Amino acid sequence: MTTPSGMVTVRAAFVRATLAAVLLLLPLVQAPQAEAAVDWTAPLSTRGRWIVDADGDRFKLRSGNWHGASGTWNGSGSTADDANHHAGENSGRIPLGLDRAPIAEIIAGFQEIGINSIRLPFSNEMIHDTVPVTDDAVAANPALRGMTPLQVYDAVVRELTAAGLAVILNNHTNTTRWCCGVDGNERWNASQSTEAWENDWLFMARRYQDNKRVVGADLYNEVRRNVWDDPNWGLGDNHDWFAASQRVGDRILTEANPDLLIIVEGINWTGIPVDGLPHERPTLEPVRRLSHTLVDSGKLVYSAHFYDYTGPNHSGATGTGETSDPRYRDLAPTELIDVLNRQAFYVTAEQDRHFTAPVWISEFGIGGREETGAKQRAWFENFVDHLIRTDADFAYWPLVGWHENRKGNGWALLHWDAAGNRMGLYDGDDWRAPAWTRLIDAPGRTGPVAPVTEWSMLSPDHGDFDQSRRMRALPDWDPGARKAACPDGQRLLGLSHTGNRGLCSDVSGSWPPAGGHEVVVDERHVTTGNDWATGYTKLQCATGHYLSGYSVRGSAVSAALCASAPAGELGTSGRTVWFDRGDNRGSTPKGGDFAVGHYKGQCADDEYAAGIAYTGRVGSSRTPDALYCRKLG
C-alpha cells in the first residue's frame, strides 16, 4: 500500500490484510502438544523460562488460535457478504465455525489433536458491541441466538475452560476487522486512546477473575508501523510499546486479576519496506537491552510470531512492499536457527538474566493440502524441529476454518463445511500431520520445576518505575523525582553510573515485604571511622536495612530507599565497589547487562547493597559512582 506522498509503508502484516494475494497467507501461531486432558491446577505462573501450574509442575502451552471474535471483515464492502471477509470466511463477529458445528464438537476436535490451551482473540470494538449476532452466525448453536458478541465470547470461554482447556485472552485488534495491515489496528492506541485500551483490559481481566482456567492476558497483537510512524521500545512517547505494556500489565495485576500471566509480544515491524531504506522485524531483540519487571515476579511471558513468507527484514509482501531481503523460508536450516535464536529464543536459552522468561510462539502455521511449495514445506518442518529442540511453548494459527468439497483456505487444522461435515488434520491427505504429531509427541520437561532466582531490571528512564506493591500503597516517597523500587522480596544489587538503570534480585536471600522503610537523603547513617567513599556524598542505609530502591532527578541521585530485613539476616562488614570509570561487577556476574553502554557496579550474590555514593564536584552530574556492599548475615 502506498501513501499519498508515495512512501511505501506496507509491512508483512499490512499486506496480509490489504492485498487479496497475501490474504491467503495468514499469520499463524505455534501449535500445541501433549494430551489436553492431563490434570493441572490453575492459576499459572513462571519459574525462570518455564510456565508452571499452581502445584509447581511444568505446564507447556500447546495452544491454538480460535480466531473470529476480533473480526474477519477485510474493511471494504458489506459485512454481510462472505466475499468481503478474509478467505471468504465470515465469522459473524464471534469465534469462527459456530454456524457450522456445535461448540462441544469443535472443542472435542481441539482435544483430539492435542491442544491444552486456546489463544482467543477479541477486539476492543467487540467488547462494546451491543448488536446481537445473527441467527445464521450461530446456526449450529441455537442457544447463542440473540446474544451480543461479548456474550458469545463468554459462552465460548465457559465451555473451553469447563473442558479443562486453559484460555489466554488476546487483544488482537482495536476494531472488529481482519488483521494486520494499515487498518487502524497497528498499535494498542491506533483507533482509540491508551486510557480506553487500559480500561478495556481491566474490564476483561475482572470479567473472568473467578474462572481460574482463564490464565493469561495477551496484551496486543503484532504492534507495527502505521502510515507515518513506528512503534518503539523505550523512548517514553505515545508509541512506546515497552512502556504501554509495562503499565497495563502492572495495572491488570494490581487492580483487576493478580492470577493472570502477562504476555507481551515483541514489535512486529518498523521502517518502510523499500530496498535502501531501514526496515526490520525487531520481534524480541529489544528485550535484551530493556526488559519488563512486573510488580509480581513470575507472571511475565514474552511472545513472538513466525511465518515462512516473512523474514527478519522482509514484510511478507508480494508486489507493493516487497523487498529483496530473504524470507525465513529462504534461509538454510543452520541460518534459520541462528536468526530464530537471535530474535526470540535467546530469552529462554540464557538463564539468570534480567530478561529470562518463557517465550510463547503464539502464531505460526502454513497452508495444508494445497501448499505444494518445497521451500514452504521445508520451513515448516525446520520450524517444528526448532520448537521441539527448544521445548518451546507454542500456538498454531488457526485452528478452525471453512471448506467446501475439501477446498478452501487450508491453513486451519480443522475445517467444517456448510452442512457441518468436518475435514480434519488426520484425514490422511494433509501433509502437515506427521510434523504435527512429531511436535505433539515430542519429549519435553515435565513435572516439578524448582523455584529459581529472580533477576529484575529497574528502568526509571522516563518516569516512576516503582515495582514494590508495598511502596505503591504508601504516599509518594520522593515527590517530583523518578522513583525505582525492586519488587517485594528482592533487593537492589546493581546500579549504572549513567542511564539510571538498576538490577534487583532475591539471590541468596528473600525477605517478605512486611518491615518498615526509610528514605535516606543525607549521611546520617555513615558512622565515624567508616568513610567508605572519602570525598563523596554517601546515602547509606541504617544497620539492619538494605537498599531496595532509589530515586533520580534528571540523571542525578535524589534519594536511597532502604527497607528493613528480619533480625540477623544482614551483616555489617562491607566493601566499596567503584564503577565511575569502568564496569565492576565481579568475574562472573549474573543478571546480564542491565545498562548496555554504561558503566555498572554490582554487589556479589552473597552481599546486599547498603549505600550509594556520588559527587557534585565540577564535571560530575551527581550520578552513582560507588555502591557500599555488605555481606549477608
Q: Which domain holds residue 432?
A: 45-441
Nearest to 167 by CA among 399, 376, 373, 355: 399
Looking at 537-597, which runs of residues are DSSP E strands?
Answer: 537-540, 545-553, 556-564, 570-578
pLDDT band at 8 (very low <50, low <70, confident <90, very high): very low
- CA dist 470 and 503 (Å) reads 19
pLDDT at position 276, please? Answer: 94
pLDDT > 70? residue 386 = yes
Instruction: Evaluate whether 561 touches 471 at the Cβ level (below 8 Å).
Output: yes
136 found inside a domain? yes
pLDDT band at 325 (very low <50, low <70, confident <90, very high): very high
Nearest to 288 by CA among 374, 348, 228: 348
> Whole-number mean pLDDT of the chain?
92
Residue 73 bridge partners (DSSP): 85
pLDDT at position 513, please? Answer: 66
How many domains is the chain built from?
2
pLDDT tens figures, 171-219: 999 999 999 878 889 999 999 999 999 999 999 999 999 999 999 999 9
Which CATH number belongs to the domain containing residue 54 in this structure?
3.20.20.80
- CA dist 142 and 175 (Å) reads 26
pLDDT tens figures, 123-153: 999 999 999 999 999 999 999 999 999 999 9
pLDDT at position 523, please? Answer: 97
What is each CA distance from 70 to 177, 210, 212, in whole angstroms?
A: 6, 23, 23
pLDDT > 50? residue 28 = no
pLDDT at position 21, please? Answer: 30
Q: Does 518 lie in the same domain as 469?
A: yes
pLDDT tens figures, 50-65: 999 999 999 999 999 9
- CA dist 217 and 545 (Å) reads 36
Nearest to 560 by CA among 569, 552, 549: 549
Check residue 554 and give left, alpha or beta (phi > 0: left; psi -120 to 50: alpha). left
Q: Does 408 lie in the same domain as 304?
A: yes
**Percentage of the chain modeled with pLDDT above 70:** 94
Residue 268 bridge partners (DSSP): none
Q: Does 393 lie in the same domain as 495?
A: no
pLDDT band at 618 (very low <50, low <70, confident <90, very high): confident
**Percentage of the chain modeled with pLDDT above 90:** 88
Q: Rounded mean pLDDT of 582-605?
A: 97
pLDDT tens figures, 555-566: 999 999 999 999
Q: Does 497 lie in the same domain as 419?
A: no
Q: Does 464 lie in the same domain as 369?
A: no
For residue 32, cis peptide bond before it (omega within 30 degrees of 0):
no
pLDDT at position 306, please? Answer: 98
- Phi, psi values for residue 387, rounded to 5°: -60, -40
pLDDT at position 112, please? Answer: 97
Q: Does 478 lie in the same domain as 389?
A: no
Nearby residues of 162 by Cβ (< 8 Å), 6 or more positions away: none
Burial of 516 (0-12, 13-18, 19+ CB in 10 A): exposed
pLDDT > 50? residue 26 = no
Burial of 176 (0-12, 13-18, 19+ CB in 10 A): buried
Instruction: Evaluate whether 609 touches 493 at the Cβ level (below 8 Å).
Output: yes
Q: Does 392 lie in the same domain as 462?
A: no
